[in-house]
Amino acid sequence: MTKYFALKKQTAWDSPVDPDVFFYVVEESVNPRVDVITPDVVTLKETPFGVRIRDWVEGDFTVPIDFNQIGWLLKGLLKDVSTSEPTTGVYEHTFTPTDDPYLDCFTVEKNLDDFLIIRAINTSIVSMELEAPVGEIITATISLHANKFEKRTSALSPSYPDLSVCTSNDATVTIDGASAKVNAFRLTIENTLGIDESYILGSADYLRPTLNWREGTIEMDLILEDSSIFDKYDAGTEISSLVFDVVGKEISGGYNYELKVTSDKAIITEWSSELRRERLIQSVTVRLLDMTNKLSILLRNTVSSY
């Protein structure tokens, strides 16, 4: 028995491929769904039949952040990427939110047991939650939605890379150039896809959905030492630079693995703090603004392209 969870980017909609990126999954709930209509018949006391009308796949999976594998997830989430090679074998990818109406799509496969292998086709990345609690491995939780699935009869041969994972010790946060003392950090980027309006007569599968809306938020718990964060909240002052930077081990030539999220336009929408005997903490929610032009994610690793 070989359990696995894997994906691969498709070259086109309705063109499934054999997944080849295998993840060390912490938890997973990506499952097929069906919509069954059971009509009410006024002459009977029970519904007499059910009709399967739609099927799809949805759910989440959580993985430790690996500096190489995370690039595929960022590609699906944001789509646009530019790549450079500052030195031989070291690559820098800059991901930015696309203005394209369509996101990339993936084939996803999970093997529950060798007799039950489920493949999701035309899979979109609906959201990503990147979480960095103190004293823990940094993780990403990905939400998926696919327009069809099939049962497979033969398993893939999993190949797992040597992970380049990162922990909270590798992460820093700066706000408008000042280092912030953060206890917990969570970045969430959500894509709203036009799925419901993409169903048409003659098919149980929806058409390739458009990207209708994108939203990004950051939630942080910070040590309360002065009123600078509260003053921004109170005045409605925008944050002109918010950086979450994770630096891993050296690759070569003085270049380290790195994941750096930069927002150049954001605003605090919620702030709270409670009296207590322990060290005072302030909890804030930050809304990312104008993400297409003001958000970028730098990823430095050993992968040549995504």
Which tens digits make up the pLDDT trace of 83-134? 999 999 999 999 999 999 999 999 999 999 888 999 999 999 999 999 999 9
1: pLDDT confidence band, cut at 50, 70 and 90? low
- Beta bridge partners of residue 215, listed in sequence order: 190
Q: What is the mean pLDDT of residues 166-185?
A: 96
Spatial distance between the Cα atoms of 167 and 60, rounded to a whole number of angstroms? 21
Which tens digits make up the pLDDT trace of 188-224? 999 999 999 999 999 999 999 999 999 999 999 999 9
Helix (H, G, I), strand (E, B) or coil at 65: coil
pLDDT for the residue numbered 165: 84
Q: Compute CA distances 214 → 53, 82, 186, 189, 292, whole Å.
A: 29, 20, 17, 7, 9
Residues 6+ apart with CB under 8 A from 295: 96, 97, 216, 261, 262, 263, 264, 288
Percent of the chain at pLDDT > 90 equals 91
pLDDT for the residue numbered 9: 98
pLDDT for the residue numbered 39: 86
Instruction: Tell me the pTM.
Output: 0.94
pLDDT for the residue numbered 2: 78
Q: What does pLDDT average to over the chain?
A: 96
Instruction: Kindly tell me if the per-residue pLDDT of 304 is higher than 70.
Output: yes
Which tens digits make up the pLDDT trace of 44-92? 888 888 998 899 999 999 999 999 999 999 999 999 999 999 999 999 9
Helix (H, G, I), strand (E, B) or coil at 157: coil
